[in-house]
Structure 1
Amino acid sequence: MDRFYVGSEVGKLRKVLLHRPQLSLKHLTPGNCESLLFDDVLRIEKAGEEHDAFQKVLTDNGVQVYLLTQMLAETLSMSNAKKWILDRQINNFRFGETLAMEVRSYLESLDNLTLAKHLSGGLTLAEMGATSKSMTLGRMTETDFLIEPIPNHLFTRDTSCWIYGGVSMNPMAKDARKRETVHLRAIYKFHPMFKNSEFITYMGDEDLNYDNATIEGGDVLVLGRGNVLIGMSERTTPQGVEQLSRALLKTGQAKKVIALELPKARSCMHLDTVFTHMDIDCFTYYPDIMRADTDCWELTMNDHEQVEANRVKDGFTNAIARALDVPELRLIPTGGDAFEAEREQWNDANNVLTIEPGVVVTYERNVNTIRNMEEAGIKVLTIPGEELGRGRGGARCMSCPILRDDI
Structure 2
Amino acid sequence: MFSVNSEVGRLREVVVHRPGTELSRLTPSNVDSMLFDDVLWAERAREEHDLFAKQLVDQGVVVHHFADLLAEALDVDDAREFVATRLATHERFGQMLAGAIGELVRTYPAARLAEILIGGLTKRDVEAWVDIPSLLLQSAAPDDFILSPLPNHLFQRDNSAWIYGALSVNPMAKEARQRETINSRVVYNFHPMFRSAPPTFLYGNDSAVHLPATVEGGDVAVLGHRAVMIGMGERTTSQGIELLSQRLFETGTAERVIVVELPKERAFMHLDTALTQVDRDAYSVYPYLPETLRSWHVTPERGGLAFHENDDLFRELSFALQVDEVRALKVPMDRRAAEREQWDDGNNFLAVAPGVVLGCERNTTTNHYLEEHGITVLPVVGSELGRGRGGPRCLTCPISREA
Q: TM-score of the superposition, structure 1-length normalised?
A: 0.96
Aligned to 1:194: 194
> Residue 321 of structure 1 aligns to which amino acid in structure 2?
S
**Residues 1:18 and 2:16 aligned together:** yes
**What do residues 112-165 of structure 1 show as CA deviations (whole Å, max 9, x unaligned)?**
111101111111111222432222211011111111000001111010000011
Q: Which residues in structure 2 correspond to 1:47-126 (within 5 Å)?
A: 47-126=45-124
What are structure 2's unaligned runs of at least 5 residues?
Answer: none
**What do residues 324-354 of structure 1 show as CA deviations (whole Å, max 9, x unaligned)?**
1112111112464322221010000100100
What are structure 1's unaligned runs of at least 5 residues?
Answer: none
The answer (yes or no) to whether the contact 1:335–1:368 under 8 Å persists in 2 is no
The percent identity for this pair of structures is 45
> Residue 89 of structure 1 aligns to which amino acid in structure 2?
L
- Which whole-Å CA distance do the structure 2 matches of 1:251 and 1:115 have between them? 35
- Which whole-Å CA distance do the structure 2 matches of 1:110 and 1:44 have between them? 25
Superposition deviation, residue 78 in structure 1: 2.1
Aligned to 1:274: 274
The answer (yes or no) to whether the contact 2:287–2:332 under 8 Å persists in 1 is no
The answer (yes or no) to whether the contact 1:15–1:65 under 8 Å persists in 2 is yes
The answer (yes or no) to whether the contact 2:172–2:214 under 8 Å persists in 1 is yes
- Which whole-Å CA distance do the structure 1 matches of 2:52 and 2:313 have between them? 32
Three-state SS of the structure 2 residue aligned to 1:162 is strand
**What do residues 353-372 of structure 1 show as CA deviations (whole Å, max 9, x unaligned)?**
00100000011111000011
Superposition deviation, residue 106 in structure 1: 3.4
- Which whole-Å CA distance do the structure 2 matches of 1:306 and 1:125 have between them? 49
> Residue 277 of structure 2 aligns to which amino acid in structure 1?
H
The answer (yes or no) to whether the contact 1:106–1:128 under 8 Å persists in 2 is no
> Residue 200 of structure 1 aligns to which amino acid in structure 2?
T
- Which whole-Å CA distance do the structure 2 matches of 1:168 and 1:344 have between them? 30
- Which whole-Å CA distance do the structure 1 matches of 2:133 and 2:308 have between them? 60
**What do residues 195-225 of structure 1 show as CA deviations (whole Å, max 9, x unaligned)?**
0114211111111111321110000010111
Aligned to 2:41: 43
The answer (yes or no) to whether the contact 1:232–1:259 under 8 Å persists in 2 is yes
- Which whole-Å CA distance do the structure 2 matches of 1:94 and 1:182 have between them? 14
- Which whole-Å CA distance do the structure 2 matches of 1:73 and 1:295 have between them? 43
Count of aligned pairs: 401
> Residue 132 of structure 2 aligns to which amino acid in structure 1?
S
> Which stretch shows the higher mean deviation, 89-98 or 151-160?
89-98
Aligned to 1:228: 228
- Which whole-Å CA distance do the structure 2 matches of 1:292 and 1:138 have between them? 56
RMSD: 1.2
> Residue 51 of structure 1 aligns to which amino acid in structure 2?
H
> Residue 148 of structure 1 aligns to which amino acid in structure 2?
S
The answer (yes or no) to whether the contact 1:18–1:400 under 8 Å persists in 2 is yes
The answer (yes or no) to whether the contact 1:50–1:384 under 8 Å persists in 2 is yes
Three-state SS of the structure 1 residue aligned to 2:317 is helix
- Which whole-Å CA distance do the structure 2 matches of 1:14 and 1:47 have between them? 24
> Residue 46 of structure 2 aligns to which amino acid in structure 1?
G
Task: Identify which of 343, 361, 368 aligns with 2:365.
Answer: 368
Aligned to 2:300: 301
> Residue 180 of structure 1 aligns to which amino acid in structure 2?
E
The answer (yes or no) to whether the contact 1:14–1:64 under 8 Å persists in 2 is yes
- Which whole-Å CA distance do the structure 2 matches of 1:198 and 1:228 have between them? 22
Task: Identify which of 395, 398, 402 aligns with 1:401.
Answer: 398
Superposition deviation, residue 26 in structure 1: 1.0
Aligned to 1:377: 374
The answer (yes or no) to whether the contact 2:231–2:260 under 8 Å persists in 1 is yes
- Which whole-Å CA distance do the structure 2 matches of 1:162 and 1:243 have between them? 16
Aligned to 1:354: 351
- Which whole-Å CA distance do the structure 1 matches of 2:45 and 2:246 have between them? 39
Superposition deviation, residue 102 in structure 1: 2.4
Aligned to 1:292: 291
**What do residues 88-111 of structure 1 show as CA deviations (whole Å, max 9, x unaligned)?**
111112211211122333344421
1:74–1:117 Cα change, 3 Å:
same
1:281–1:180 Cα change, 3 Å:
same
- Which whole-Å CA distance do the structure 2 matches of 1:343 and 1:279 have between them? 24
- Which whole-Å CA distance do the structure 2 matches of 1:43 and 1:86 have between them? 32
> Which stretch shows the higher mean deviation, 6-15 or 126-135?
126-135
Aligned to 1:343: 340
Aligned to 1:391: 388
The answer (yes or no) to whether the contact 1:335–1:371 under 8 Å persists in 2 is no
**What do residues 249-295 of structure 1 show as CA deviations (whole Å, max 9, x unaligned)?**
12221110000111121111000011000001000010222x33211
- Which whole-Å CA distance do the structure 2 matches of 1:22 and 1:328 have between them? 44
Three-state SS of the structure 2 residue aligned to 1:382 is strand
Aligned to 1:5: 3
Q: Which residues in structure 2 correspond to 1:238-249 (within 5 Å)?
A: 238-249=238-249
Superposition deviation, residue 70 in structure 1: 0.3
